Chains A and B, each alone.
Chain A
Amino acid sequence: MTQMKETTVTSSASTTTPAGAGVDLVGLVRSYGRVRALDGFSLTIKPGEFIALLGPSGCGKTTALRVLAGFERPDGGRVIVDGADLSNVSAQKRDMGMVFQSYSLFPNMNALHNVAFGLRMRRQSSRDRNTKARELLDLVGLSDQAQKYPHQMSGGQQQRVALARALAIEPRVLLLDEPLSALDAKVRAELRDQIRSLQQRLAITTVFVTHDQEEALSMADRVCVMSQGHIEQTATPAELYARPATAFVAQFVGVSSRVPVTVTAGQADVFGQSVAARGADAHSVGVALDALLRPEELAVMVDPAGKGFVTHKSFFGATTRLIVQVEEVPVRVDVRSDLVADMALGTRVDVKVVTPDVLVAPRMAAPTEA
């Protein structure tokens, strides 16, 4: 993890009352032929909450967002916003602003008219909608670009105009469908901070779809990790990282090493060390299990009689990541950089678990690293 969620909250955000809507997605099912994109997907989003749908390609996160937006009709389940069932309400009547992955500004309109489009559809007067559109452009820092057409703006500017356009209609829910994925790293980081800042200022309920865990963890109040059309875990970024509920979450979010273990009476034997096993239950008896270990859950000490040896070192600045081969199993360990100067490749080391418990999951076909 290179960047965790910022804990600093602006004063304006802290004093803002949530203005967004509460959303309940209940048992959503959506299939495309034989492929089930959503398989009983249920999620409750609190008013003003920023929630990220995170998962690999094809996990159903965009389908969930499109069902919420009204672009897809679910085969089953309901979409409830502020207590009203919107399942059969068309997209244009849902009052949801959306920013798309691809640049979606109307090419025939300048930035001002793009932002004012939704207000025009709501029959606001020309003066009112232009005033509002200018305010929104000012909000995203593009007041000087009002007369420019999309082809005259950069990708980052276009997405900021798209954000202003979505916010102009004062949506009940703001939907962001991977809006940063087409941007370069620097612009992406800037816009990420801007989106989060605006969301906190306006306290608008926001659903953000991404496959980038760094974006999800750094921006969202809660992250919903999806796989194969269902939710693996919904939790705060910190909880998701520290206490992954499933092997999929442990592997998809952050970095984990899989280590074969035996579990007896709730205790996992990890390289000869007994540690409380999390995730083991009655069904685990007699089943081959792996412990999923974060790099920072392990510590290494130079020990000529140790079971492992260093096979790889990657310098990350404050920390260095070691890959240590222990009993044929490669594990990743993060160590303070100033402590690994004497750990040359091939150095014999001992590996210890430094957390009170470890997540265990059914063993994969062969021990691998995530």
Chain B
Amino acid sequence: MAEELALEEVLNESPVRRSGRRRRPSLWRTVVFLFAGLYFLLPIYAGMKFTLQDIHGHFSFGAITSLPHVAGFADAFWLSMRLAGATLVIEAILVVPTAIYVHLRLPRLRRLFEFITILPIVFPPIVLILGLTRAAPLWIRASPYMLSAEYVILSLPFVYRSLDAGLSAIDLKTLTEAARSLGGNWVKTVWRVILPNLRPALLSALVLSMALVLGEYTMASLDLWTTIPVWIVQFQQGSNGHIQIAASMMGLIVTWVLLTVIVSIDRTEARRRKATKAAL
């Protein structure tokens, strides 16, 4: 009876009272959201405004159009793109199967793996670089793709945790066993059943990873490779600031475009499903 009364109270509670309770957190959320928005958008606005001005303060695309012709920019841009691509491929090959294996076969070690993947956050980049340099063979050390190996480690906390959350959200064991009982081998099971259901988590992991790679400065600088962030810092020494900021803005825009492309793949699929549902 007591339970019934309690339930009745909740059901009879007026919408006004309930909405009143929500009002305060909603106000705080708005304030926080506005503050965070300004914090992130103001520098971008300022950078964009500065990029679209010449040295006399007049509106101009000059800084942007001259960028491809500035010494070293194209090489740095291309290197950053290659490194981003290589990093994503290595992560997809290395981390995705590992996360699946841990969930399926070593569930008791999930906490341990989470802990291990968080370690790159607490170690300074120089420690990671030195450790990897000592462990890697010479042909990798001499290659810029050494940076990709470092980026894979650096982005592990984001990538692994995103995948871990995605795998926890599906009944991986049952889906896998269902696919296997129907004749699917491991490759087909992962490709046709697990990855499609892991796509949001996988995209999220790759988006985070790509953003990190395209903006990383310390490791590239220490390894003496001129990626976009390194080029921007180097160019700062002895040139006008408009081109430098234009390069930063272009880096930001390219990152956004790439991320939008990746995310739109998922949204297209979501729309397709929604359309199917509506048709039914």
The answer to whether A and B come from one shared complex is yes
Which residues from chain A sit less than 8 Å from chain B, CB to CB? 69-71, 90-98, 100, 102-108, 110, 117-118, 121-122, 147-149, 152, 162, 165-166, 169, 175
**Which of the residues A106, A110, A149 comes within 8 Å of B178, measured between beta carbons?**
A106
Known: A149-B273, A149-B277, A152-B277. A121 touches B182 (CB 8 A): yes
B178 A104 Cβ-Cβ under 8 A: yes
Q: Is there a chain A Cβ closer than 8 Å to B4's Cβ?
A: no
Shortest distance from the beta carbon of A323 to any chain B beta carbon, whole Å: 28
A92 B181 Cβ-Cβ under 8 A: yes
A108 B196 Cβ-Cβ under 8 A: yes
Q: Is there a chain A Cβ closer than 8 Å to B29's Cβ?
A: no
Chain A residues with CB under 8 Å of B170's CB are 107
Query: A94–B181 Cα gap in the complex (Å)?
Result: 8
Chain B, residue nearest A108 (CB): B196
Per-residue A-contact encoding for B165-194, CB less than 8 Å = 1, 0 else: 000001100110111111111001000110
Chain A residues with CB under 8 Å of B14's CB are none
Query: A108–B196 Cα gap in the complex (Å)?
Result: 6
**Which of the residues B177, B192, B196 comes within 8 Å of A100, measured between beta carbons?**
B177
Chain B, residue nearest A116 (CB): B182
B181 A98 Cβ-Cβ under 8 A: yes
Query: A95–B183 Cα gap in the complex (Å)?
Result: 7
A92 B171 Cβ-Cβ under 8 A: no
B197 A91 Cβ-Cβ under 8 A: no
What are 30 residue pairs bridging A and B, where the CB atoms are less than 8 Å apart in the complex?
A: A70-B180, A71-B180, A90-B180, A92-B182, A92-B183, A92-B185, A93-B183, A95-B183, A96-B181, A97-B181, A98-B177, A98-B178, A98-B181, A100-B174, A100-B177, A100-B178, A103-B171, A104-B171, A104-B174, A104-B177, A106-B175, A107-B170, A107-B197, A117-B182, A118-B183, A121-B184, A121-B188, A147-B276, A162-B178, A166-B182
Chain B residues with CB under 8 Å of A100's CB are 174, 177-178
Shortest distance from the beta carbon of B111 to any chain A beta carbon, whole Å: 19
Chain B residues with CB under 8 Å of A71's CB are 177, 180-181
A148 B280 Cβ-Cβ under 8 A: yes
Chain B residues with CB under 8 Å of A92's CB are 180-185
6 new A-B contacts, CB < 8 A, other than A93-B183, A121-B183, A166-B181, are A90-B180, A91-B180, A100-B177, A105-B178, A108-B193, A147-B276
Query: A108–B273 Cα gap in the complex (Å)?
Result: 9
Known: A147-B280, A149-B273. A102 touches B171 (CB 8 A): yes
Chain A residues with CB under 8 Å of B185's CB are 92
Chain A residues with CB under 8 Å of B188's CB are 121
Shortest distance from the beta carbon of B13 to any chain A beta carbon, whole Å: 29
Tell me the B115-151 residues at the A interface (CB within 8 Å): none
Shortest distance from the beta carbon of B10 to any chain A beta carbon, whole Å: 25
Chain A, residue nearest B198 (CB): A108
Query: A177–B93 Cα gap in the complex (Å)?
Result: 34
A91 B181 Cβ-Cβ under 8 A: yes
Query: A91–B182 Cα gap in the complex (Å)?
Result: 9
Shortest distance from the beta carbon of B202 to any chain A beta carbon, whole Å: 13
Shortest distance from the beta carbon of A103 to any chain B beta carbon, whole Å: 8
Chain B, residue nearest A149 (CB): B273
Query: A175–B178 Cα gap in the complex (Å)?
Result: 11
